[in-house]
Amino acid sequence: MTHSKIIPTFQELYNELLKTDPVVLLSVNEPALKFVFSECFELTRYAQYVCGATSNIASCCQTQVTKLLQMILPKLAAGLQKQNSFEECDESFEKSFANMLVRNLVAECSVGFVNYE
């Protein structure tokens, strides 16, 4: 897929992340985002036992999960926006990345290794 074709898709995802009701995202029976085709959703859907367990937990903890999604979705949209450079990011987003420290590189490098000592 070329850059000229993928940018409109990212823009659509960006808009949907900002506008989608978090409660809709708790559904495991149909796509929550409009640009996801039903056929793709069904082909990539997890097994029923996974979807059922997820649905039970989501309905049990709906208030907490919805609050969390309300906080996360705008941040995901901002990250997508920044990553794909299709719009300017706000200043608070820039500052949050500028102040981020990365201290776990050694741990990241060892992921997958097994110590048999």
Task: Give the span between the Cα atoms of 17 and 8, in whole angstroms.
Answer: 14
pLDDT of residue 7: 75
Q: Would you give the DSSP letter of residue 111?
A: T
pLDDT at 11: 85
pTM summary value: 0.60
Per-residue model confidence as pLDDT tens digits over 72-97: 999 988 888 877 665 555 566 556 65
Question: Which residues in 31-63 are b (16+ Cβ under 10 Å) and which e?
Answer: ebeeeeeeeeeeeeeeeeeeeeeeeeebeeeee
CA distance 16 to 39: 19
Residue stretches of the chain with pLDDT short of 50: none
